[in-house]
Structure 1
């Protein structure tokens, strides 16, 4: 049985924290929240201390608040969102944090992952770090922000971790939006439950409209256009029961963390999400409860060409911030007169004295761009299908013989068409017209060679690992089986045979 957080953090550890910064890195289902709600709660209650639990998604707040209310632990634990903290700090409200001795930052990758679009994550982080209390940062994907704390902020952390194990049946990548529809149809046919995590609320709702009878839709309440389409009563029921009744759940990344879904009928999780950290969190929403429980993962591909485009955008995004870092405020203003930094990485900050302002860099947004650039470089170094290989490495779909065992769905379907065709024609003599048809099938299956001679086709079959070979000979028959004259006599033909591998 896998270890739990409560097994590696003891009461003696809690006693010795003494207002330090603690990090807990562990996968989903390892008892991080259980530790806070039970072990830390009991210690805090006994010592007359209070806990603030900070969460970044409203759905998580609702689920966690229900649990705290049910267990009657609101006397010690309060729950807020990071966004509420940021709002109150921007508008100079009274400090919310003064009354707490423990500040728990749940899913603390939030500070970095949401910095891609939220320009205030640095505000809550800096405010939390300024408090002279015990700060506990928990996440399955917090490695980069931990590096930021250690290296950039020079904060010495007390670290606890459990190895993260991913238990997936298959890792499948897909190229086209139309595949989303096909996967939904397949789930309906088999009556297996499927979850779609889609970054775009518009795309998510469009998919929902096609399968409304079978689906539950969810998105962030901040998305005013589409949140009114959400059946809030059903979503709340899902959070309480930790399962959904419908065949299909279609949601944005508003459910990418903190939510538990415990249901062996959920067999497929589909992610059309670009940010790797958020994608990993989405996949972790289903809890694997037994050895015979499994889930298939489907991820929208990002091609190397698309990676190059993202890389260009990121470099453009930090261009002004890089110049400010290297050349100072005066030269920055001379370089970019009367220009705003539309990436929001550079902002004006008031100086207390002399009624002046200065320009500063949002370190979280800047760091997020740098980390994304670093990861893109890693992906590109892996060669073709770098994004797929990068994720395959993370999820354990790479073996010691240096082979990746993920599937690209559309290619697999094309491969299946080729296999069926070869099975049907094996042993048949293929003359000129039949060879043309054979080459068309190879072309549809993905072979893009200028010439398609027999050696080229056999080489591709070998690369695909398909047990077929194409041989050649000359037709020497005088007559056909029906006694008619053989018009192909003396002509060269190809013939498909199947290889038989001997067991070692």
Structure 2
């Protein structure tokens, strides 16, 4: 528990490293917002998608935290790209910028996260970085002195609600697991897929007991049609179906538990989760993701388990030329003045 006195003593950037429902947002809206309001100061709360922005805005209004503005990383990125930075987000002198789901800056579904990262990193306001899956970049912040070690709060994570893991070898095994849970238990299922085609295949097989959910920006014609027919099942709270198919596949891959990036799901008895992903699909799903120091070790371990050397997917390059062409994706080392990372990109020379 972080006391009001401790919060009042914060004089620099802060990290809150904790999972969903560990109280990170509560601290901002119910404690820091109150302290800042008493001092006549404002807070900017940044979310990684509209659903979470709407939920946070509702909580801000319910608690009368009128000194809190809520926006998204994407809004910041789009404004910078269009060179239109005249809104309150860019002109207000904020006391704190609170960054929910900060792992967004490493994510794969938006190619412009470096814009929001640079703007946030260099902003004169104090920052509160929040995430359960950004340990790599958090450690980098500590190493370079961007955040003092005493201001790094590790909030214990509990996955006690996960009863069991299922490992399977092929797609038919996954279907049999789903079939068994639907017919022999009262459990509800959330299924995340690394392939849109396979997601649709599973949905069509179980459509009588399933809902389909994907990004509204999907390019897949069948998926787009289903989204238009069903809408957003989370937003509409239509949870009567036993199987909720999460098909916004690139958006979900970095969420270790597959529970929608910190958004509160009013969905009871969600106990089962399936993931279908081979090595190439993993690389595809993480296309354009930024891998920082700790994540690079994780990536190398994945290659090692597959009997591959890290150079197999092009980590080693010579003047930008690939040293090998064994897979359709390569890893390119990149950097800014402050941060170094790897990115998975298409290997257009692959054949």
User: Which TM-score band applies after superposition, normalised by the shorter structure?
Assistant: 0.7 to 0.9
TM alignment of 1:188-267, pairs within 5 A: 188-189=182-183, 190-225=185-220, 226-230=223-227, 231-232=230-231, 234-238=233-237, 244-251=239-246, 252-253=248-249, 254=251, 256-261=260-265, 263-267=267-271
Quote how far apart the aligned CAs of 1:366 are: 5.4
Given the alignment, which residue of 1, 7, 28 partners 1:14? Answer: 7
Q: Distance in 1 between matches of 2:174 and 2:339?
A: 31
Q: Which runs of 4+ in 1 moved over 4 A?
A: 302-306, 342-346, 362-366
Structure 1 alignment gaps of length 5 or more: 1-6, 279-301, 324-331, 337-341, 347-359, 371-504
TM alignment of 1:35-74, pairs within 5 A: 35-69=27-61, 71=62, 73=64
- Tell me: higher relative CO, structure 1 or 2? Use CA pairs within 8 A at least 6 residues apart: 2
Quote how far apart the aligned CAs of 1:361 are: 3.8
Q: Distance in 1 between matches of 2:337 and 2:205?
A: 42
Q: TM-score, normalised by structure 1?
A: 0.52
TM alignment of 1:298-447, pairs within 5 A: 307-308=306-307, 311-312=310-311, 314=313, 316=314, 318-320=315-317, 323=318, 332=319, 361=335, 367-368=341-342
For these two proteins, the number of residue pairs brought into alignment is 298
Structure 2 alignment gaps of length 5 or more: 253-259, 287-300, 323-328, 345-351
TM alignment of 1:148-227, pairs within 5 A: 148-151=140-143, 153-157=144-148, 158-167=151-160, 168-189=162-183, 190-225=185-220, 226-227=223-224
Q: TM-score, normalised by structure 2?
A: 0.73
SS at match of 1:174: coil
Q: CA RMSD in A?
A: 3.3
Is the Cα–Cα contact under 8 Å of residues 27 and 139 in structure 1 kept in the other structure?
A: yes
TM alignment of 1:484-499, pairs within 5 A: none
Quick check: which has more Rg, 1 or 2? 1
Residue 104 in structure 1 maps to residue 101 in structure 2: no
Alpha carbons of 1:169 and 1:10: their partners in 2 closer, same or farther (altered >3 Å)?
A: same
SS at match of 1:109: helix
Alpha carbons of 1:68 and 1:107: their partners in 2 closer, same or farther (altered >3 Å)?
A: same
Given the alignment, which residue of 66, 69, 73 partners 1:78? Answer: 69
**Larger helix fraction of residues:** 1
The Cα offsets for residues 250-281 of structure 1, whole Å up to 9 and x where unpaired, read as: 10354641122355522212233649xx9xxx
Alpha carbons of 1:227 and 1:362: their partners in 2 closer, same or farther (altered >3 Å)?
A: farther
Is the Cα–Cα contact under 8 Å of residues 195 and 266 in structure 1 kept in the other structure?
A: yes
The Cα offsets for residues 60-82 of structure 1, whole Å up to 9 and x where unpaired, read as: 2333334334x164622222221
